[in-house]
Structure 1
Amino acid sequence: MTRLLLLALVLSTPALAQHAGHATASARTDAPATREFRAANDRMHRDMAIRYTGNPDLDFAASMIPHHQGAIEMARVQLRYGTDPEMRRIAEEIIRAQEAEIAELRAFLARTAPPR
């Protein structure tokens, strides 16, 4: 079994390297909006990797804050680069709604989370 895994790794290494190189080249040639969407998405997923407490209420609030912040950042990218009036309206609504929900989530954590 170990030999089979090692063989699979060796055979896939050139493909992995080629894919990694393609991703890097692609990032350099992406449109500015695409780069900003990727950055916002990456930051959101990184920040959602919270330290779980085992309390679903606290964990939900703590992980939703970066999730909502990511939505706000993506909506701002849309407003910078997008031109469709309907999408601009939705982006503006998302910013207002998500900012309000972030405030609610932070207030919940402030009154509920145990001191560190």
Structure 2
Amino acid sequence: MKPAATILGLTLLAACSQQPAPGNGAQPHDAMAHDAMAPGATDSAATRGYKQSMAAMMTKAPPYTGDADVDFMQQMRVHHAAAVAMARTELAHGKDPEARTLAQAVIDTQQEEIEQIDRWLEAKGR
């Protein structure tokens, strides 16, 4: 993975890390962070797209199972899907050639990894 894609990936993964461990009674998402991801009336189309992709990642992440391998694969799948959504927003609204090239690379590599994760999860009966 290229450095910029790695930074994007780590940022998205950090955002996902707010989910509590099973059984601790905590709310799964910080309310203020969730509100910050809600599209606003004055947001640009790109900002709405980015916020929607982040909010989807936060709400679609499956609960942790306690199995490090399964948890990694399931959480990374949601994380990669959000990265693809963000990259598609960039392609739809961005103008900078370098950013657009990176967005396309993110889509290509993350889609391949999503397919790999799906095969792994299916083989494990998940």
How many Å separate the matches in 2 of 1:46 and 1:96? 24
In the alignment, does 2:92 pair up with 1:80?
yes
Look up the match of 1:43: 56
In the alignment, does 2:60 pair up with 1:28?
no
Look up the match of 1:5: none
Unaligned runs of 5+ in 1: 1-18
How many Å separate the matches in 1 of 2:58 and 2:80? 11
How many Å separate the matches in 1 of 2:115 and 2:95? 29
SS state of the match for residue 43, structure 1?
Answer: helix
Share of identical aligned residues, percent?
36
TM-score (normalised: structure 2) = 0.67
How many residue pairs get aligned? The number is: 90
Larger gyration radius, structure 1 or structure 2: 1
Amino acid across the alignment from 2:111:
E
Look up the match of 1:14: none
Q: Is the 8 A contact 1:44 1:70 kept in 2?
A: yes
What CA RMSD, in Å, does the superposition of the two structures yield over aligned residues?
1.8
How many Å separate the matches in 2 of 1:76 and 1:89? 11
TM-score (normalised: structure 1) = 0.72
How many Å separate the matches in 2 of 1:29 and 1:51? 33
Look up the match of 1:53: 65
Structure whose residues are more often helix by fraction: 1
Unaligned runs of 5+ in 2: 1-31
How many Å separate the matches in 1 of 2:117 and 2:73? 5
How many Å separate the matches in 2 of 1:59 and 1:29? 37
Amino acid across the alignment from 2:64:
Y
How many Å separate the matches in 2 of 1:68 and 1:53? 19
